[in-house]
Amino acid sequence: MRMAQDAGASHLLAYSDSQLIVKQVNGEYEAKEESMMQYLQQIEELKTKFKSFQLHQIPREENIKADSLSKLASALEDCKNMAYHYAASASTTNPTGYPAHFIK
């Protein structure tokens, strides 16, 4: 929800494969655990940032895209604090003298 807000979305349609989460967020089930109540409170606050918000349940086997997006979001969050250097042109030499490693 925060990523959608940061991207400037005004309407959010979200999907989850967790029936419990969807029903709690949509008010069909009551949260009993303190941690879930705090989570739902954050969601309620974030929902006010959108003109519309909908959360739907999908079967777990159809959640591959959402799972991939959540992993990407986590990876991007981890990258925020990483130092990097932009090279204006390609180079085959390593200025440090250390062996360069490539990841495919």
3-class SS string, 36-86: HHHHHHHHHHHHCCCCEEEEEECCHHHCHHHHHHHHHHHHHHHHCCCCCCC
Using the structure block, give the residue that is written with the tokens 């005004």: 10
pLDDT, tens digit, for every residue of 51-76? 999 999 988 877 787 678 778 877 87
Question: pTM of whole model > 0.85?
Answer: no
Q: Is residue 42 domain-resident?
A: yes
Provide the number of structural domains found in the chain: 1
CATH code, domain carrying 54? 3.30.420.10
Q: Is residue 103 domain-resident?
A: no
pLDDT, tens digit, for every residue of 25-40? 999 999 999 999 999 9
The H or E element spanning position 15 is strand 11-16
Q: Is residue 89 domain-resident?
A: no
Structural domain containing residue 21: 2-74
Q: Is residue 38 domain-resident?
A: yes
